[in-house]
Amino acid sequence: MQTPAPVDYAKATSIADALAKLQAHGEEARVVAGGHSLLPMMKLRLARPDALIDINDIPELVGIKVVGSEIVVGAMTRHREILSSDILSEHYPIFREAERVIADPIVRNRGTIGGSMCQADPAADMSAVGSALRGNAVVVGPSGTRTVPLREFHQGPYETVVQYGEILTELRYPIRPGAGSAYEKVERRAGDWGVATAGVFVVVSGGVVTDCGIGLAAVGADHYCSPQGEASLMGKEPTEDNLRAAAAATAASCSPNADQRGPVDYKVHLAEELTLRALRRAVRSSQGA
Amino acid sequence: MQVTITINGVEQSRDVEPRMLLVHFIRDELGMRGTHWGCDTSNCGACTVTVDGDTVKSCTMLAVQANGKAVGTVEGLAQGGELDPVQKGFMECHGLQCGYCTPGMMLQARWMLDHNPHPTEEEIREGISGNICRCTGYKNIVAAIQYAAENPATSEVPA
Ligand SMILES: Cc1cc2nc3c(=O)[nH]c(=O)nc-3n(C[C@H](O)[C@H](O)[C@H](O)COP(=O)(O)OP(=O)(O)OC[C@H]3O[C@@H](n4cnc5c(N)ncnc54)[C@H](O)[C@@H]3O)c2cc1C
Ligand code: FES
Ligand code: FES
């Protein structure tokens, strides 16, 4: 039987209350969001916080809305709400395509986008999406609020810029009129983490690619993205040859580890193939086909 | 820590350690063994219950997090002595063998039908993809859920 070690627990009722409770409980306190990464880690003693500050039931942390030229998603928004969001589907189908293959419906009822970003698992799908879209994270702490580009949010596996005493409150994604987007993932079985994943957005205007983003998870892409792949495509016509060249440049920029999900050469192959498939579909939808 | 949880409509108060998982609260504190406990790693779905109406794997939620909330278990599926259509479907279509996965499977099926009363076979399979069955091969479980969709309770308005 797996049970977490003894731990204190306090429920926060607002962002300010959560910050105060984190302060009061000291450096070994952690916030618990959906708990679907944290509780399993506590059972295995991979995490041993002294206190859990529960940020479920803080209404200001939940929701998806358009504010100016950005889509703003609260950190405590559950995977299920992202999957079924009309706002996200309208602007960026990449969200729905990625969410459909994150875990299973019951896990998606509980797990949150903020928890997923803060867990910083190298295979986290929402991290790949966030980096592809060049979104921003809003982090609030005792010394105020700061906005961090998602491409600088992750410091390495399981490590982010969020410091003790701080919480991630929302994610912001710029709206790009005319953008097409798509997500591709290969998993060993339904509901599993990806062996490799790729998600992209492309804006085609006047016959050339005027903007694009390439995100990847589980393949050792720095900050879950490939600026090399993007540079190879920018300003070019979205021909099959040019998409293939961008996918090859993307794969060359990845350095996956071999693990139980597959060997290095297989993952590199997948990075290239999945990037290519996502690019083809995103180009097609950007061109309105 | 004192918690009060409404289980299948009945308020239950206990003094528990914050580290107690909801599944153990239900099984060990309340002695309600209908909720099963399998993998312990949020993969199998045997421990599925509802919390404020949505299905949750109760091995991956603390009992203190359910404080003040309404929890539903398999014991609460039948209403007024009448089995839920999902339970009838599992009987009619031989939707179980050992029965280990069945409580979680039925709660997830109920939740799915509440949100999508007429699922396709593919939607059913996707809907129960977080519930693992080692016996049936799923075919009869899918049939059981289809039966429930086709034979809703008389109180349910057919769409
Ligand atoms: C069976 C299973 C399969 C899964 N499959 C996938 C998959 O295929 N793809 C995928 O991407 N994910 C998958 N996941 C992970 C899932 O997405 C989790 O929801 C996610 O990793 C963690 O989110 P959470 O809300 O549960 O966070 P928690 O477990 O509550 O928190 C995770 C960490 O982030 C911190 N944290 C959480 N929220 C905040 C915040 N707002 N501010 C500061 N720190 C915070 C916590 O302190 C903790 O350290 C799977 C999980 C399970 C159990
Ligand atoms: S025991 Fe909870 S999912 Fe298996
Ligand atoms: S009937 Fe035995 S696990 Fe499903």
Q: Which residues of B touch A40 (CB under 8 A)?
A: 41-42, 60
Same-domain check for residues A43 and A96? no
For the residues A51-67, what does the mean pLDDT come to?
A: 97
Orientation of helix B139-150 relative to helix B85-92, angle to 10°: 130
The CATH number of whichever domain residue A103 belongs to comes to: 3.30.465.10
- Tell me the nearest-neighbour CA distance from B83 into chain A, angstroms: 23
> What average pLDDT does chain A have?
97
CA of A208 to the centre of ligand 1 (A): 38
- The reply to whether residue A8 touches residue B60, judged by beta carbons under 8 angstroms, is no
Give the containing element (helix H, strand E) for A54. Answer: strand A51-54
Same-domain check for residues A252 and A273? yes
Same-domain check for residues A90 and A116? yes
Same-domain check for residues A76 and A34? no
Whether A224 maps to a domain, the answer reads yes
d(CA B159, CA B154): 12
Give the per-residue pLDDT at B159.
45
Same-domain check for residues A272 and A242? yes
Instruction: Pick the residue from chain B with its C-alpha nearest to A39.
Output: B60
- The reply to whether residue B57 touches residue A190, judged by beta carbons under 8 angstroms, is no
Whether A70 maps to a domain, the answer reads yes
A197-237 pLDDT, tens digit per residue, is 999 999 999 999 999 999 999 999 999 999 999 999 999 99
CA of A252 to the centre of ligand 2 (A): 39
Whether A3 maps to a domain, the answer reads no
Tell me the CA distances in angstroms from A156 to A179, A261, A263, B78, one per residue in order: 29, 20, 21, 50
Our count of domains for chain A comes to 3
Whether A114 maps to a domain, the answer reads yes
Q: For chain B, which residues make up each domain, given as ranges? A: 2-76, 85-150
Please, which contacts does A232-240 make with residues 24 or more away whose CB atoms are closer than 8 Å?
Answer: A233/A202, A233/A209, A233/A279, A234/A209, A234/A210, A235/A208, A235/A209, A235/A210, A236/A208, A236/A209, A237/A207, A237/A208, A237/A209, A238/A202, A238/A204, A238/A208, A238/A209, A238/A279, A238/A283, A238/A287, A240/A280
Domain containing residue A31? 8-54
Question: How long is chain B?
Answer: 159
- Split chain B (159 residues) into runs of 10 and give each run's mean pLDDT: 97 98 98 96 97 98 98 96 97 98 98 98 97 97 98 69
Instruction: Pick the residue from chain B with its C-alpha nearest to A101.
Output: B126
pTM (predicted TM-score): 0.96
CA of B95 to the centre of ligand 3 (A): 9
Give the per-residue pLDDT at A1.
78
- The reply to whether residue A35 touches residue B60, judged by beta carbons under 8 angstroms, is yes
Same-domain check for residues A142 and A219? no
Whether A45 maps to a domain, the answer reads yes
Same-domain check for residues A185 and A224? yes
A123-179 pLDDT, tens digit per residue, is 999 999 999 999 999 999 999 999 999 999 999 999 999 999 999 999 999 999 999
Whether A29 maps to a domain, the answer reads yes
Confidence check: pLDDT of A37 > 60: yes
A256-268 pLDDT, tens digit per residue, is 999 999 999 999 9
Same-domain check for residues A43 and A109? no
Whether A1 maps to a domain, the answer reads no
Same-domain check for residues A169 and A256? no
On whether any CB of chain A is under 8 Å from the CB of B64, the answer is yes
CATH code for residues B2-76: 3.10.20.30
Identify the three-state secondary structure at position A224. helix
Tokens 């792949």 sit on residue: A229
Best mutation target among A45, A96, A106 (most B Cβ atoms within 10 Å) is A106
Give the per-residue pLDDT at A143.
92
Same-domain check for residues A36 and A88? no
Same-domain check for residues A100 and A148? yes
In A11-70, the residues whose Cβ lies within 8 Å of chain B are: 11, 32, 35-36, 39-40, 42-43, 52, 54, 56
Confidence check: pLDDT of A40 > 50: yes
The CATH number of whichever domain residue A19 belongs to comes to: 3.30.43.10
Whether A170 maps to a domain, the answer reads yes
Give the per-residue pLDDT at A2.
87
Asked whether the ipTM of the predicted complex exceeds the cut of 0.90, the reply is yes
Q: Which residues pair with A165 in a beta bridge?
A: none
Tell me the CA distances in angstroms from A199 to A35, A133, B91, one per residue in order: 26, 9, 44
B85-150 maps to CATH 3.10.20.30 = no
Same-domain check for residues A197 and A259? yes
pLDDT class for A289, splitting at 50, 70, 90? low
- The reply to whether residue B64 touches residue A104, judged by beta carbons under 8 angstroms, is no
pLDDT class for A240, splitting at 50, 70, 90? very high
Determine the residue of B41, B49, B55, B133 to mutate for testing ligand 2's pocket, defined as the one with the most ligand atoms within 8 A of the Cβ atom: B41
Closest listed residue to residue A279, CA positions, set A187, A185, A183, A195:
A183
